[in-house]
Amino acid sequence: MRLPTFFVLFACAACSADRPVDPLTPPSGDSGYDASGGFDVGIEDTEPAEAGCATSQSQAFAPPVDLIFAIDQSESMDAEIDQVKKNINKLADLLAATKLDYRVIMIARPGPDAFGVCIPPPLGADGCGDNLPRFKRSAQQVMSNDALSLYLRTYDSVDPLIGWSKYVRQNAVKAFVPITDDNATQPPPAPYWQTFDNEILKRGSGAFGKAADRNYVFYPIIGASVGDPTKKCATDVVDVGTEYLELTKLTGGRYFPICATDYGPIFLEMGTELVTKVVCRLPIPKPAAGETLDRNKVNVSYTPPGGAPTDLFQDNSKPCDGGANGWQYSADGTKILLCGDACKAARENPGTKVDVIFGCTTRVR
């Protein structure tokens, strides 16, 4: 998989422009979730075009991603810790191959013993050290129930071996990855997931977003079964991790089963999910001064490198991650989501260009 240098051009175009249409069933007439990722957008004026079309142009790039792990180091977690150490470089290799700008924060007590967490190169460093700026340790023991609380307490710790606030980027999408066979019982008051959300949004002068537009997502590896989060994935698992499941739903993330015997596929799936969130959600620019955006007069096309532009239909028949093919608006109406084949093209083809055309009636599937 390769992450494109992703160009988004907002420009004017006639409704009858001659170019291929999305090669799926055409519309019969005129007729998700969003994880708060986004792009840095700069808008500039362009030459005047046909009346009724917008005259703004934008170029967008995928934002950086910061992953923050917290690994339960209680006595039941030796096999799981070993799986993390053996496989986390597969996640790093995937992200590096996509050319995504990523960093990893690892909250765990380092050490050579079975419950210590030392990440080997190339992500980590020899001797259980940092590998800045890519990898930063937060040398804090994590136990069965305190991962959420420790995310908050370690963030702005003045201890240089523990604090990690200076290593995450303001504009980066934050991906929290707690790994535990238990549930959170902190920070108070209950429900703990809600307290965590309230508190993390206060950190970093907006680095984690706001309630209406969160800039973080949860990818926990926990005790819930695949397909049925109400059931434990094994009898020796302590809890399904209800608090983490709530944060996963809140942020549009995904959970993974801690019972897996090989974490390699888990980390590859996690990386793929994260890349998709970053490259398939495009911000809509603000209208020019004195103008109002008409969301019924927006169209989208994409152009692979060396190829012809292909018009997409707006497809609201299913969620974007549930079978829609084309594009749709995010739930909060601030982003355009690429769905199906368009998202696949954006993920896999460096240099893919997406045009958002204003002023013509939206083509609807």
Q: What pLDDT, on the 0 to 100 scale, is given for residue 350?
A: 59
pLDDT at site 5: 42
Residue 346: helix, strand or coil by DSSP? helix
pLDDT at 189: 98
- The pLDDT assigned to 3 comes to 41
Which backbone phi and psi does 68 adopt, to 5 degrees? -120, 105
pLDDT for 61 equals: 54
Whole-model pTM: value is 0.77
Residue appearing with tokens 């994590």: 142
Q: Is 253 left (phi over 0), alpha (psi -120 to 50) or beta?
A: beta
| Regions in the chain scoring below 70 on pLDDT | 1-62, 285-289, 291, 350-351
pLDDT at 254: 97
pLDDT of residue 286: 66
**DSSP letter string, 3-18:** ----EEEEE---TT--
3-class DSSP assignment, residue 311:
strand
Q: Which residues of 330-356 are buried (b: 16+ CB within 10 A; e: fewer)?
A: beeeebbbbbbbbbebbbbbeebbbbb
What residue type is assigned to position 235 of the chain?
A: T
Residue 318: name the closest of 33, 8, 17, 9 by CA: 33
Tens-place pLDDT, residues 322-349: 999 999 998 888 788 999 999 988 888 7
Q: What is the pLDDT of residue 351?
A: 65
Taken in order of first residue, the domains within the chain and their CATH numbers are: 7-62+280-358 (no CATH), 65-279 (3.40.50)
